[in-house]
Amino acid sequence: MTASIRRSLLLGGALVSLGFPRLARAQPSTRPGAGEAGWAPSRPVRIVVPFPPGGSADVQARMIAQHLSPALGQPVVIENRPGAGGSIGAVEVARSAPDGHTLFMATTGTQSANQFLYSNLAYDPEKDLAPISLVTYYPQAVVAGAWLQDRSLPGLVAALKAMPQPATYGSSGSGSPTHLAGALFARSTGVTLTHVPYRGQGPALNDLTAGLIQLMFPSVADVLGQLRGGPLSAVAVMNPTRMSVVPEVPTTAEGGYPGLDSAIWTGLYTRAGTPRPAVARLNTEVVRILAMPEVRDRLVAAGFEVRPGTPEALGNFQAEESRRWGALIRETGARAD
Protein backbone atom coordinates (compact mmCIF):
# COMPACT_ATOMS: atom_id res chain seq x y z
CA MET A 1 0.00 0.00 0.00
CA THR A 2 1.36 3.43 -0.92
CA ALA A 3 1.89 6.25 1.55
CA SER A 4 -0.89 8.33 -0.02
CA ILE A 5 -3.46 5.56 0.42
CA ARG A 6 -2.38 4.95 4.01
CA ARG A 7 -2.81 8.66 4.72
CA SER A 8 -6.31 8.74 3.24
CA LEU A 9 -7.37 5.77 5.35
CA LEU A 10 -5.83 7.06 8.56
CA LEU A 11 -7.16 10.62 8.36
CA GLY A 12 -9.87 11.65 10.77
CA GLY A 13 -10.08 11.70 14.50
CA ALA A 14 -11.27 8.14 14.95
CA LEU A 15 -8.51 6.55 12.94
CA VAL A 16 -5.80 8.88 14.15
CA SER A 17 -6.66 7.83 17.66
CA LEU A 18 -6.37 4.22 16.51
CA GLY A 19 -2.98 4.65 14.84
CA PHE A 20 -0.97 1.45 15.12
CA PRO A 21 -1.37 0.39 18.73
CA ARG A 22 -1.52 -3.26 19.58
CA LEU A 23 -4.75 -2.87 21.55
CA ALA A 24 -8.17 -1.39 20.85
CA ARG A 25 -9.61 -0.16 24.14
CA ALA A 26 -12.73 -2.00 25.23
CA GLN A 27 -15.91 -0.36 26.44
CA PRO A 28 -19.00 -2.11 27.77
CA SER A 29 -21.36 -3.00 24.97
CA THR A 30 -24.35 -0.68 24.77
CA ARG A 31 -25.89 -2.13 21.60
CA PRO A 32 -29.46 -3.35 22.07
CA GLY A 33 -29.57 -7.11 21.90
CA ALA A 34 -25.78 -7.44 21.76
CA GLY A 35 -25.89 -10.58 23.86
CA GLU A 36 -28.88 -12.17 22.19
CA ALA A 37 -26.73 -14.17 19.74
CA GLY A 38 -25.79 -16.51 22.60
CA TRP A 39 -22.04 -15.90 22.61
CA ALA A 40 -19.70 -13.26 24.01
CA PRO A 41 -15.91 -13.40 24.39
CA SER A 42 -14.58 -14.02 27.87
CA ARG A 43 -11.15 -12.47 27.26
CA PRO A 44 -9.40 -10.24 24.69
CA VAL A 45 -9.91 -11.12 21.05
CA ARG A 46 -6.97 -11.04 18.68
CA ILE A 47 -6.95 -10.45 14.92
CA VAL A 48 -3.93 -12.02 13.27
CA VAL A 49 -2.80 -10.04 10.21
CA PRO A 50 -0.39 -12.03 8.03
CA PHE A 51 1.41 -8.93 6.74
CA PRO A 52 3.43 -6.05 8.25
CA PRO A 53 1.73 -2.96 9.73
CA GLY A 54 0.58 -0.35 7.25
CA GLY A 55 -0.60 -2.55 4.40
CA SER A 56 -4.15 -2.85 3.11
CA ALA A 57 -5.12 -5.87 5.21
CA ASP A 58 -3.57 -4.36 8.34
CA VAL A 59 -5.37 -1.03 8.02
CA GLN A 60 -8.71 -2.77 7.41
CA ALA A 61 -8.19 -5.02 10.44
CA ARG A 62 -7.51 -2.01 12.65
CA MET A 63 -10.61 -0.22 11.42
CA ILE A 64 -12.70 -3.27 12.28
CA ALA A 65 -10.95 -3.69 15.65
CA GLN A 66 -11.74 -0.12 16.65
CA HIS A 67 -15.47 -0.79 16.45
CA LEU A 68 -15.47 -4.49 17.32
CA SER A 69 -13.95 -3.94 20.75
CA PRO A 70 -16.80 -1.86 22.23
CA ALA A 71 -19.38 -4.12 20.57
CA LEU A 72 -17.94 -7.23 22.21
CA GLY A 73 -16.97 -5.58 25.48
CA GLN A 74 -13.41 -6.91 25.24
CA PRO A 75 -10.11 -5.48 23.95
CA VAL A 76 -9.29 -6.46 20.36
CA VAL A 77 -5.57 -7.05 19.78
CA ILE A 78 -3.87 -6.79 16.40
CA GLU A 79 -1.03 -9.26 15.88
CA ASN A 80 1.09 -8.89 12.75
CA ARG A 81 2.60 -12.23 11.68
CA PRO A 82 4.11 -11.61 8.22
CA GLY A 83 5.99 -14.09 6.07
CA ALA A 84 5.64 -16.80 3.41
CA GLY A 85 2.86 -15.06 1.53
CA GLY A 86 0.68 -14.90 4.63
CA SER A 87 1.16 -18.57 5.54
CA ILE A 88 2.85 -17.87 8.88
CA GLY A 89 -0.18 -15.95 10.12
CA ALA A 90 -2.55 -18.57 8.77
CA VAL A 91 -0.74 -21.34 10.64
CA GLU A 92 -0.94 -19.31 13.84
CA VAL A 93 -4.73 -19.21 13.57
CA ALA A 94 -5.00 -22.83 12.39
CA ARG A 95 -3.27 -23.90 15.62
CA SER A 96 -5.36 -21.69 17.92
CA ALA A 97 -8.24 -22.81 20.12
CA PRO A 98 -11.57 -23.02 18.25
CA ASP A 99 -13.39 -20.64 20.57
CA GLY A 100 -13.86 -17.40 18.61
CA HIS A 101 -11.10 -15.49 20.38
CA THR A 102 -8.61 -15.67 17.48
CA LEU A 103 -9.55 -14.12 14.14
CA PHE A 104 -7.65 -14.02 10.86
CA MET A 105 -7.53 -11.20 8.30
CA ALA A 106 -7.19 -13.49 5.30
CA THR A 107 -6.52 -12.62 1.68
CA THR A 108 -6.73 -14.09 -1.80
CA GLY A 109 -3.30 -15.59 -1.32
CA THR A 110 -3.81 -17.27 2.04
CA GLN A 111 -7.16 -18.78 1.08
CA SER A 112 -7.07 -19.43 -2.67
CA ALA A 113 -3.52 -19.34 -4.06
CA ASN A 114 -0.97 -20.51 -1.47
CA GLN A 115 -2.16 -24.12 -1.56
CA PHE A 116 -1.05 -24.26 -5.21
CA LEU A 117 2.10 -22.16 -4.82
CA TYR A 118 3.80 -23.90 -1.87
CA SER A 119 4.88 -27.54 -1.85
CA ASN A 120 4.37 -28.18 1.87
CA LEU A 121 1.75 -25.76 3.13
CA ALA A 122 1.37 -26.20 6.89
CA TYR A 123 -2.35 -25.44 6.97
CA ASP A 124 -5.44 -26.31 4.94
CA PRO A 125 -7.37 -23.14 4.04
CA GLU A 126 -10.67 -25.01 3.84
CA LYS A 127 -10.36 -27.45 6.74
CA ASP A 128 -8.47 -25.31 9.27
CA LEU A 129 -10.13 -21.91 8.87
CA ALA A 130 -13.83 -21.03 9.15
CA PRO A 131 -15.22 -18.04 7.22
CA ILE A 132 -16.93 -15.17 9.03
CA SER A 133 -17.45 -12.52 6.34
CA LEU A 134 -15.92 -11.14 3.20
CA VAL A 135 -14.57 -7.66 3.95
CA THR A 136 -13.31 -5.95 0.79
CA TYR A 137 -12.65 -6.64 -2.86
CA TYR A 138 -10.16 -4.41 -4.65
CA PRO A 139 -9.85 -4.70 -8.43
CA GLN A 140 -6.50 -4.54 -10.14
CA ALA A 141 -5.50 -2.36 -13.07
CA VAL A 142 -3.46 -2.71 -16.23
CA VAL A 143 -0.80 -0.02 -15.82
CA ALA A 144 1.66 0.72 -18.62
CA GLY A 145 4.68 2.99 -18.53
CA ALA A 146 5.11 6.18 -20.52
CA TRP A 147 6.43 4.20 -23.51
CA LEU A 148 2.90 3.35 -24.64
CA GLN A 149 1.50 5.80 -27.20
CA ASP A 150 -2.00 4.39 -27.77
CA ARG A 151 -3.24 4.06 -24.21
CA SER A 152 -6.28 1.96 -25.00
CA LEU A 153 -6.35 -1.73 -24.20
CA PRO A 154 -6.44 -2.75 -27.90
CA GLY A 155 -3.57 -0.34 -28.48
CA LEU A 156 -1.55 -1.91 -25.67
CA VAL A 157 -2.14 -5.45 -26.91
CA ALA A 158 -1.15 -4.47 -30.45
CA ALA A 159 2.01 -2.76 -29.18
CA LEU A 160 2.98 -5.77 -27.08
CA LYS A 161 2.49 -8.18 -29.98
CA ALA A 162 4.63 -5.97 -32.21
CA MET A 163 7.62 -5.95 -29.85
CA PRO A 164 10.64 -7.94 -31.04
CA GLN A 165 11.20 -9.20 -27.48
CA PRO A 166 8.58 -9.94 -24.80
CA ALA A 167 7.70 -6.96 -22.64
CA THR A 168 8.53 -7.15 -18.95
CA TYR A 169 6.08 -6.75 -16.10
CA GLY A 170 6.90 -6.33 -12.44
CA SER A 171 5.24 -7.83 -9.39
CA SER A 172 5.62 -7.79 -5.63
CA GLY A 173 6.97 -11.36 -5.74
CA SER A 174 6.48 -14.78 -7.26
CA GLY A 175 2.96 -16.05 -6.67
CA SER A 176 1.69 -12.62 -5.56
CA PRO A 177 -1.61 -11.26 -6.90
CA THR A 178 0.30 -8.83 -9.10
CA HIS A 179 2.21 -11.78 -10.59
CA LEU A 180 -0.90 -13.88 -11.20
CA ALA A 181 -2.85 -10.97 -12.71
CA GLY A 182 -0.07 -10.51 -15.24
CA ALA A 183 -0.16 -14.21 -16.11
CA LEU A 184 -3.93 -13.98 -16.53
CA PHE A 185 -3.54 -10.93 -18.77
CA ALA A 186 -0.97 -12.68 -20.97
CA ARG A 187 -3.14 -15.79 -21.34
CA SER A 188 -6.31 -13.82 -22.08
CA THR A 189 -4.79 -11.49 -24.66
CA GLY A 190 -2.40 -13.94 -26.32
CA VAL A 191 0.72 -11.87 -25.66
CA THR A 192 4.02 -13.10 -24.27
CA LEU A 193 5.34 -11.33 -21.18
CA THR A 194 8.44 -11.76 -19.03
CA HIS A 195 7.75 -11.69 -15.30
CA VAL A 196 10.16 -9.75 -13.08
CA PRO A 197 9.53 -10.43 -9.37
CA TYR A 198 10.54 -7.75 -6.86
CA ARG A 199 10.79 -7.76 -3.08
CA GLY A 200 7.68 -5.68 -2.62
CA GLN A 201 5.52 -3.54 -4.83
CA GLY A 202 7.28 -0.23 -4.16
CA PRO A 203 10.53 -1.05 -6.00
CA ALA A 204 8.54 -2.45 -8.93
CA LEU A 205 6.50 0.73 -9.21
CA ASN A 206 9.69 2.80 -9.12
CA ASP A 207 11.14 0.81 -12.01
CA LEU A 208 7.89 1.10 -13.96
CA THR A 209 7.99 4.88 -13.56
CA ALA A 210 11.66 4.91 -14.61
CA GLY A 211 10.92 2.86 -17.72
CA LEU A 212 12.94 -0.18 -16.65
CA ILE A 213 9.88 -2.44 -16.97
CA GLN A 214 6.88 -1.97 -19.22
CA LEU A 215 3.84 -3.10 -17.22
CA MET A 216 2.34 -3.77 -13.81
CA PHE A 217 -0.98 -5.06 -12.51
CA PRO A 218 -1.42 -3.47 -9.06
CA SER A 219 -4.70 -2.96 -7.26
CA VAL A 220 -6.26 0.44 -7.87
CA ALA A 221 -6.26 1.00 -4.10
CA ASP A 222 -2.49 0.60 -3.95
CA VAL A 223 -1.73 3.13 -6.71
CA LEU A 224 -4.65 5.52 -6.43
CA GLY A 225 -2.37 8.43 -5.53
CA GLN A 226 -0.13 7.85 -8.55
CA LEU A 227 -3.12 7.53 -10.86
CA ARG A 228 -4.61 10.83 -9.70
CA GLY A 229 -2.27 13.31 -11.29
CA GLY A 230 0.82 11.24 -10.54
CA PRO A 231 3.35 9.58 -12.81
CA LEU A 232 1.21 6.56 -13.70
CA SER A 233 -1.93 6.03 -15.74
CA ALA A 234 -4.12 2.97 -16.02
CA VAL A 235 -5.05 1.51 -19.38
CA ALA A 236 -7.95 -0.46 -17.91
CA VAL A 237 -9.40 -1.76 -14.67
CA MET A 238 -9.68 -5.55 -14.47
CA ASN A 239 -13.29 -5.37 -13.30
CA PRO A 240 -16.68 -5.87 -14.98
CA THR A 241 -17.74 -2.29 -14.14
CA ARG A 242 -15.90 1.01 -13.90
CA MET A 243 -14.71 2.12 -10.49
CA SER A 244 -16.08 5.27 -8.86
CA VAL A 245 -12.61 6.39 -7.74
CA VAL A 246 -11.26 6.33 -11.32
CA PRO A 247 -14.41 6.64 -13.46
CA GLU A 248 -12.43 7.73 -16.50
CA VAL A 249 -10.61 4.39 -16.77
CA PRO A 250 -12.45 1.84 -18.96
CA THR A 251 -12.86 -1.79 -18.02
CA THR A 252 -11.11 -4.70 -19.68
CA ALA A 253 -14.50 -5.76 -21.05
CA GLU A 254 -14.89 -2.37 -22.72
CA GLY A 255 -11.47 -2.92 -24.25
CA GLY A 256 -12.62 -6.14 -25.87
CA TYR A 257 -11.68 -8.69 -23.21
CA PRO A 258 -14.74 -9.66 -21.15
CA GLY A 259 -13.87 -11.95 -18.30
CA LEU A 260 -10.36 -10.54 -17.91
CA ASP A 261 -11.04 -9.69 -14.27
CA SER A 262 -8.64 -9.81 -11.35
CA ALA A 263 -8.87 -8.49 -7.82
CA ILE A 264 -7.39 -8.91 -4.38
CA TRP A 265 -9.81 -9.58 -1.55
CA THR A 266 -9.78 -9.73 2.22
CA GLY A 267 -12.03 -11.75 4.49
CA LEU A 268 -12.31 -12.38 8.21
CA TYR A 269 -11.93 -15.99 9.38
CA THR A 270 -11.53 -17.90 12.63
CA ARG A 271 -10.39 -21.38 13.63
CA ALA A 272 -12.44 -24.19 12.13
CA GLY A 273 -14.61 -25.88 14.72
CA THR A 274 -15.52 -22.61 16.42
CA PRO A 275 -19.10 -22.89 17.77
CA ARG A 276 -21.76 -21.58 15.40
CA PRO A 277 -23.08 -18.98 17.88
CA ALA A 278 -19.63 -17.40 18.03
CA VAL A 279 -19.33 -17.28 14.24
CA ALA A 280 -22.85 -15.87 13.96
CA ARG A 281 -22.17 -13.13 16.53
CA LEU A 282 -18.89 -12.16 14.90
CA ASN A 283 -20.53 -12.08 11.47
CA THR A 284 -23.31 -9.84 12.77
CA GLU A 285 -20.83 -7.37 14.24
CA VAL A 286 -18.52 -7.30 11.20
CA VAL A 287 -21.41 -6.75 8.79
CA ARG A 288 -22.68 -3.94 11.01
CA ILE A 289 -19.26 -2.30 11.23
CA LEU A 290 -18.69 -2.40 7.47
CA ALA A 291 -22.09 -0.75 6.94
CA MET A 292 -21.15 2.21 9.15
CA PRO A 293 -20.74 5.31 6.93
CA GLU A 294 -17.47 6.35 8.57
CA VAL A 295 -16.01 2.93 7.73
CA ARG A 296 -17.61 2.22 4.36
CA ASP A 297 -17.10 5.69 2.90
CA ARG A 298 -13.44 5.79 3.87
CA LEU A 299 -12.76 2.40 2.33
CA VAL A 300 -14.65 3.19 -0.89
CA ALA A 301 -12.82 6.50 -1.27
CA ALA A 302 -9.52 4.63 -1.04
CA GLY A 303 -10.39 2.23 -3.87
CA PHE A 304 -11.94 -0.73 -2.02
CA GLU A 305 -15.30 -2.33 -2.72
CA VAL A 306 -16.91 -3.18 0.63
CA ARG A 307 -18.59 -6.59 0.38
CA PRO A 308 -19.76 -8.03 3.72
CA GLY A 309 -21.90 -11.16 3.63
CA THR A 310 -22.66 -14.47 5.27
CA PRO A 311 -20.07 -17.09 6.23
CA GLU A 312 -21.60 -19.41 3.65
CA ALA A 313 -21.22 -16.81 0.90
CA LEU A 314 -17.55 -16.31 1.76
CA GLY A 315 -16.96 -20.06 1.77
CA ASN A 316 -18.51 -20.40 -1.69
CA PHE A 317 -16.55 -17.41 -2.98
CA GLN A 318 -13.30 -18.84 -1.64
CA ALA A 319 -13.99 -22.16 -3.38
CA GLU A 320 -14.64 -20.40 -6.70
CA GLU A 321 -11.47 -18.34 -6.35
CA SER A 322 -9.45 -21.46 -5.51
CA ARG A 323 -10.66 -23.22 -8.63
CA ARG A 324 -9.89 -20.21 -10.77
CA TRP A 325 -6.43 -19.39 -9.49
CA GLY A 326 -5.49 -23.03 -9.03
CA ALA A 327 -6.10 -23.69 -12.72
CA LEU A 328 -3.99 -20.68 -13.73
CA ILE A 329 -1.13 -21.58 -11.37
CA ARG A 330 -1.02 -25.15 -12.63
CA GLU A 331 -1.06 -23.92 -16.21
CA THR A 332 1.76 -21.40 -15.73
CA GLY A 333 3.83 -23.49 -13.31
CA ALA A 334 4.10 -20.55 -10.89
CA ARG A 335 5.80 -21.35 -7.57
CA ALA A 336 6.54 -19.39 -4.41
CA ASP A 337 8.95 -21.80 -2.69
pLDDT, tens only, 142-180: 999 999 999 999 999 999 999 999 999 999 999 999 999
73-96: average pLDDT: 96
SS3 113: helix
Helical pair 201-210 and 220-227, crossing angle rounded to 10 deg: 40
Q: 179-199 pLDDT, tens per residue? A: 999 999 999 999 999 999 998
β-strand 215-216 against 263-271: which pairing, if any? unpaired
Q: 229-271 pLDDT, tens per residue? A: 778 889 999 999 999 999 999 999 999 999 999 999 999 999 9
Every domain of the chain and the residues it spans? 3-137+263-332, 141-237
In this predicted structure, what is the pLDDT of residue 88? 97
289-317: average pLDDT: 96
- Domain 3-137+263-332, CATH class in plain words: alpha beta
pTM: 0.86
Same fold? 3-137+263-332, 141-237: yes
Superfamily holding 141-237: Periplasmic binding protein-like II (3.40.190.10)
Contacts 24+ apart (CB under 8 A), 80-85: 80/49, 80/51, 80/52, 80/53, 81/48, 81/49, 81/50, 82/50, 82/51, 82/52, 83/50, 84/118, 84/336, 85/109, 85/110, 85/113, 85/114, 85/117, 85/118, 85/173, 85/175, 85/176, 85/336
Q: What angle do CA 228, 229, 235 make, to 5 degrees?
A: 65
- For residue 281, pLDDT over 80 is answered with yes
In this predicted structure, what is the pLDDT of residue 1? 53
Query: 12 or 80, which is more confident?
Result: 80
In this predicted structure, what is the pLDDT of residue 38? 79
- For residue 2, pLDDT over 70 is answered with no
